[in-house]
Amino acid sequence: MNPSTSLLPTGTGAATPREHPLEYDAFRQLCERPYLAYARLRTGDGTRAARSVSRAFADLCAHWSDMLRSACPAAYAWEILNAAVDGEDVNGTVGSPRLPCHLTAAQADAVRLHHHLGLNLQKTAALMGTDDQSVRAVLRSAARTRCTALSCLLDRT
């Protein structure tokens, strides 16, 4: 194995290419806890959440240089995380049925991070790879969508 491409273990078992361990480790330390909390909300299970976050970080590690060259590394990472969490659904491991949701993926993510996990607008925006104003707008549109959906449910009863 070439020394410049050998692998170093990180705290949870994933490997880090030797050419960028500090940046990768810093990113992982910054994002792993909120990623786990988000994945737990999405999957409803700590084990599935940990598995999907481990898969996401393994993918990020494998494509680290692509992520760094992307227009927005945080958005790139967020897409990989969502694909890994979605993979839990595809593999048929989500245990409880979900209610129909009329929110877009961005609206649902912002609501989960900001309202359910209690992250401020800046942290929510940073994790999603967008700006504060976009998160604020998405949250407002989600509130209108949820209110509209709720009023439709109330009208039917």
Span 62-79, pLDDT tens digits: 999 999 999 999 999 999
84: tokens are 């890994």
| Beta carbons of 141 and 107 less than 8 angstroms apart | yes
Residue in the structure block whose two tokens are 């970080």: 57
- Burial of residue 52 (CB within 10 Å: 0-12, 13-18, 19+) is buried
> What is the dihedral angle through the alpha carbons of 15, 18, 20, 24, rounded to the nearest 10 degrees?
20
Q: Is the pLDDT of residue 90 over 70?
A: no
Percent of the chain past pLDDT 90, that is, above it, reads: 59
- Burial of residue 116 (CB within 10 Å: 0-12, 13-18, 19+) is exposed
Residue 89's pLDDT band, with cuts at 50, 70 and 90, is: low
Q: In the prediction, which pLDDT does 20 show?
A: 54
